[in-house]
Structure 1
Amino acid sequence: MSHTAHIRSHRKPRRSASTIAMRAGVAGGVLSTLAVAGASGSAVAAEPVTQTLELPTLTADLAAQVAQSADVTQQAAASYELQAERDAAAAKAAKQAKADLAEAKKKAAEEKKKAEEAARKAAAERASRTAERATLSASADTGSSEGSGSVSSSSSSSSYSSSSSATGSAAAVIAFVQAQVGDAYVSGGTGPNSWDCSGLVQAAFKQVNIDLPRVSQAQSTAGTQVGLDNLQPGDILYWGGAGSAYHVGVYVGDGMFVGAQNSSTGVVQAPLSYDPPSGAVRVL
């Protein structure tokens, strides 16, 4: 017996070959798995990962809702724009109305001032008319005497015929125009206290129901043309050409006429020599 036989061996007991083989196989399988996993992990790490997000598909109802919402938004924008335009137009109209009102007030003030001035002028003319009437009447009487004397002294060479009286319609016309002597002359005037030349003549013949044209040009061709050496009371005298006359009056006889001459003299009765006419027409 050996001297170490009584000492227990400290070596581990030997495993059987099958156990070792099995463990080796397991270890190999584990290593193989780790190797494959590592390779796979490297491959995954090397390649970028792409993530795809799938958007929801628009259905017909959803598309209709989107379109409707867009229409509502567009209509709201159009409504706001229209309202803005209306507001701007209203502001502009208000501004223009304010300016028009100011202009109207200004014009009204000017018209009022003119009316007051015209009223003062008319009052002054009426005040002076009474004083002038006596002077004009005296002048007319003097002219009538001179005219009658001229006709009586040289009736054969006189350019005008004369008549001391008038009857019928002619007398009514003459009475009317003589009643207006001293009235004011106003362009466009048709009475009763102010006249222009054709307005006075028209009003005089209206007294005998004869409607004459309003203006002197037409009145100068309203009747039969007569010579100035063959005048009769009631004939219409005109100054200028027949059809283009610029002034008219009424022959009242005795070499005298009545006419609304101008703003300085008003309606006067004067001898034909005071302002010789160009021609005459007879409507009575």
Structure 2
Amino acid sequence: MSHTAHIRSHRKPRRSASKIAMRAGVAGGVLSTLAVAGASGAANAAEPVTQTLELPTLTADLAAQVAESATATELAAANYELQAERDAAAAEAAKEAKADLAEAKKKAAEEKRKAEEAARKAAAERAARDAERPTLKTAAATAASVETSTSTSAATGSAAAVVSFLKAQVGKAYVMGATGPSAYDCSGLVGAAFKQVGISLPRVSQDQSTAGTQVSLSNLQPGDILYWGSAGSAYHVAVYVGDGMFIGAQNPSTGVAEKPLSYDPPTGAVRVL
């Protein structure tokens, strides 16, 4: 026996013929498949491929939901616009109301101021009249004294002419601002009477009350100018004609009239004759 006979061979064992044939068949099949695929790819490369994509079709329910959603969106937008218009109108109305209130307050304050001013003026006038004119009782007593002391006096000279003119005017109308010959106011009558004897007096009663020498009501003479109110601010004048009587243009209701001193007791008198 060889000395190497017990050593295993290192060479690979031979494959069986059947396995080799099977593998060859598989390889051939793969190659055939690749060939067919290549041929098919070449054929397909020669013709363009067109693909058609189909969009999904809305169902009836989905379309209704979309319509409802659009309607709701439009309604919400309309409501929002309407609310915005209402808010704007309310803001404008509030602005106008605020302006009207401010104007009303301003007018009310102005009316109140005018009323208070008128009340103060009326109170001042009343106080002035009360201070200037004697009380009725004192005036009546003064008039009685005047009538007693002057009852026998008689007009002479220029005074007689003044008194004669005045008596001729009794019954004529009282008209504010008139100086004759058909109508007079109080100072217009006095001025016209003294003009008969060449004496020019101031036009208004305030100035006529200081035109001569102040005399006491207990020492009156015919032709003395009587005044009501304070000297320099008198509001009425007339002329004493004797026997406790005076003639003056009193007011629109009486016109030019002859009255006793007690009818309206004067405040004072001045003498110009």
- The alignment's TM-score, normalised by the length of structure 2, stands at 0.46
Question: Which protein shows a greater Rg?
Answer: 2
